[in-house]
Amino acid sequence: MAEKRKKEEEQQQKKLAGRMHTFFNKLHGNYTPRDWAIAGLELGSGRCRTLATYVAYNTTLTCLNLSRIGLTDDDGISIA
């Protein structure tokens, strides 16, 4: 199951474009603004897990607005 999730996350990373691509690059590179909103962006389960991983190790982001992104219960658990 973990291998399947990892593969899904890698596939989602390859599909990133525009605002989402910029967001993940800044999170991963640890150079985000203090407050950031990704309201309204469709993430999907793979991207939610990637988001959770990047946020866990980011030291520059202090507030992230996740409103209107359609989180499922499982996505919320991943992010929490």
pLDDT of residue 9: 64
Number of neighbours of residue 19 by Cβ within 10 angstroms: 10
Tens digit of each residue's pLDDT (9 = 90 or more) over 6-52: 776 666 665 656 777 788 888 888 888 899 888 877 777 888 888 88
Tokens for 47, please give them: 């991207």
Compute the residue count for the chain.
80
> How far is the C-alpha of 50 from the C-alpha of 34, rounded, in Å?
19
Tens digit of each residue's pLDDT (9 = 90 or more) over 52-78: 888 888 999 999 888 888 888 888 888
Question: 34-64 in b/e burial notation, b at 16+ Cβ within 10 A?
Answer: eebebeeeebebbbbbbbeebeeebeebeeb
Confidence (pTM)? 0.66
